[in-house]
Structure 1
Amino acid sequence: MPSSTSVRLSVAQLTVQPDPGDTAALRESCERIRALMREAHEAGARLLHLPEGALSCPSKRIMSKAGPATVGPADWDRADWTTLAEGLRAIADLAGELRLWTVVGSLHPLTPPRRPHLSLYVIGGDGALVTRYDERMLSNTKVSHMYTPGSAPVTFSVDGVRFGCAMGMEATFPEVFLEYERLDVDCVLFSTHGPGTPVNNGPFALQAQALAAANSYWVSYAGTAQDAPNAPSGIISPDGDWLTRCPPQPVSAITTADLDLTAENQGRPWRRVARSGLYARYQAPDDPRSANRAQC
């Protein structure tokens, strides 16, 4: 049991901007994020979780060197890296002022000609960058034309409560979430842009519920305001139930819940025992001479 038995977590949805070269839009995103940070602080949250690309979520067609009619290699020279960096610093400064841990999605540049990472920055309550998670299981378009994949899971602790990070389409890869179970996390922060089609009933949100129940930990689901009518942001319990959700309208919002670590869940330790080779002790070979064998 960690030293703290409860952590108050806020999860957000907001409109993400598709053009990292649009300076005015980047500044608007930064101010919207800072407004949500103040809301989370007023709600008593210790940590605010934001979606994939909260500062900028580049469109594959806007970024294509071949023009919007053709999806091709991204032109990263068009990104306003200076304004992105300024926005991240402003968010970090406010996190330190509010004593609010903040997990925010943005781009992380690498030395050209390497493509950037699509990342989650983890900013501590003192305003310092604690760690960064880079999306690993990229879509075909992302890995072919846009980003460099990450290579490792990331965990961090707030008041003794252990968090892991996932993003993008990684809810479709159960092994990512099982890895975090093995790393003893209490909650996975899953940031996504979502599938983006209102007719699909939010498969990433449904998968997040299943993964929370299968691994017996909380999952915080942070999506975009554009996808909220389909799958609003929210927090899922270790039983796979929604504790709270943002409104299902395309508006910026937060919702807040306490993660209570005192409730015991027998499923997680039992699954660990079951995976340890338990069943091999009971799997004696059948005796072919047995008269009671079932006949096919």
Structure 2
Amino acid sequence: MKIAAAQSIITGDIAENGRTIRALIEQAAHKGARLVNFCEGALSGYAKAQINSPENWLDLDWTTHDTELAAIADTCKRLNIFAVVGSAHPLPAPHPPHNSQYVFSDDGSLIGHYDKRFLSHSELQGWFTPGTQALTFEVDGYRFGCLTCIEVQFPELFMDYERRDVDAILFSSYGIRSFFQIALRAHAGFNCVWISGATPAQTAHEGPAGIIGPDGKVVAHCAAEQRNQLAFATLDRNDPSFDGALNKARPWRRQARQGNIYRKKQIKP
């Protein structure tokens, strides 16, 4: 199954962001992708980049936001493709929004939204409300999970998704700087999962959008240029190049973490 990681230009104009997202969904579908994921704040704008202050969430044009979400859903239905779109998710006042990834099915329905759980110190100062739950969904027999930005620094989140039997993690961030790139490769290799990382085009010089294989190696990436792009990769459990990671390392590490293979060979002091 082919997937795509988006590297999109984000502006302060929600309608413009929506047009960019739909155009990239079209490109992904025409190249045979079944799923495309977008970066943090791809539709609404990201907090400290386009929104500028927590109070500005109150003035966000949520009506246009809803209109663009509906248009994205229609695009997914028309093109028979899944899309995972980073955007703020409003909550009743006085609560700030969730920092979310909206998951759209190929029939145009909203499967749900992943709400970022581990917020930075500054995000907790009125920018966002933390989420509470992991999110998994399936496409063509492959299971996906979602994580966002600073959550790259919490290995337990990646390990939890491995225990939930995901094949791939969709990582959404406003920038994938060098140590994020290193960490994502490590998480992919340690947990033997694909990771698709989406970032804005504005921050591509720090590290481009791309897809990492379950062996921890980069499969595909965009150019480090400020323009709308997609990186494509095919998820294939039967690919012989991933045999060691998927069929040997991953099941063995599960046994190792449970500890039984060690306990029956241990000697009491």
- Give 1:124 shift: 0.3
Give the Cα separation in 2 of the matches to 1:74 and 1:284: 61
Query: 2:83 maps to what in 1?
Result: 102
Match of 1:282 among 238, 249, 265: 265
How far does residue 228 in structure 1 lie from its aligned partner after superposition? 1.0
Deviation sequence 1:55-77 (CA, Å, 0-9, x none)? 02333386566xxxxxxx53422
Shift of 1:37: 0.8
Selected match of 2:194 from 210, 218, 222: 218
Structure 1 segments unaligned to the other structure (5+ residues)? 1-6, 20-24, 66-72, 196-200, 287-296
In structure 1, what is the equivalent of residue 149 of structure 2? Answer: 168
Aligned position for 1:141: 122
Q: Which residue of 2 aligns with 1:31?
A: 19
Q: Percent identity?
A: 42
User: Structure 2 matches for 1:54-133, cutoff 5 A?
Assistant: 54-60=42-48, 63=51, 73-133=54-114
Deviation at 1:40, TM superposition (A): 0.3
Post-superposition, which runs of at least 4 consecutive aligned residues in structure 1 deviate over 4 A? 61-65
Count of equivalent residues: 262
- Is 1:122–1:131's contact at 8 Å kept on the other side of the alignment? yes
Contact in 2 for aligned 1:60/1:74 (Cα 8 Å): no
Query: What per-residue deviation string (whole Å, max 9, x for no partner) do you get for residues 221-268 of structure 1?
Result: 111111112211111000111111111111110121111111432111
Q: What do the CA deviations read for 1:157-185 (whole angstroms, capped 9, x no partner)? A: 00111000111211111111000000000
CA–CA distance in 1 between the matches of 2:50 and 2:231? 32
In structure 2, give the amino acid aligned to 1:272: R
Structure-2 residue corresponding to 1:249: 225
TM-score, scaled relative to structure 1: 0.85
User: Following the alignment from structure 1 to structure 2, what is the Cα–Cα distance between the partners of residues 255 and 62?
Assistant: 25
* Separation (CA, whole Å) in 2 of partners of 1:163 and 1:46: 13
Measured in 2, the distance between the counterparts of 1:29 and 1:75 equals 18
Q: Is the 8 A contact 1:108 1:119 kept in 2?
A: yes
TM-score by length of 2: 0.93
Q: Give the CA RMSD over aligned residues.
A: 1.5
Moved more, 152-161 or 272-281: 272-281
- Matched-pair contact (CA < 8 Å) for 2:14–2:45: no
1:277, distance to aligned residue in structure 2 (A): 2.0
Matches of 1:212 and 1:147 in 2, distance apart? 28
Trace 1:200-219 onto structure 2 (pairs within 5 A).
202-219=178-195
Asked if residue 150 in structure 1 is aligned to residue 131 in structure 2, the reply is: yes
Aligned to 1:43: 31
**Could you tell me whether the CA contact under 8 Å between 2:47 and 2:127 is conserved in 1?**
no
CA distance in 2, matches of 1:58, 1:224: 10
Indicate if the aligned counterparts of 1:136 and 1:151 stay in contact, CA closer than 8 A. yes
Q: If each structure's helix is expressed as a fraction of its own residues, which one has the higher value?
A: 2
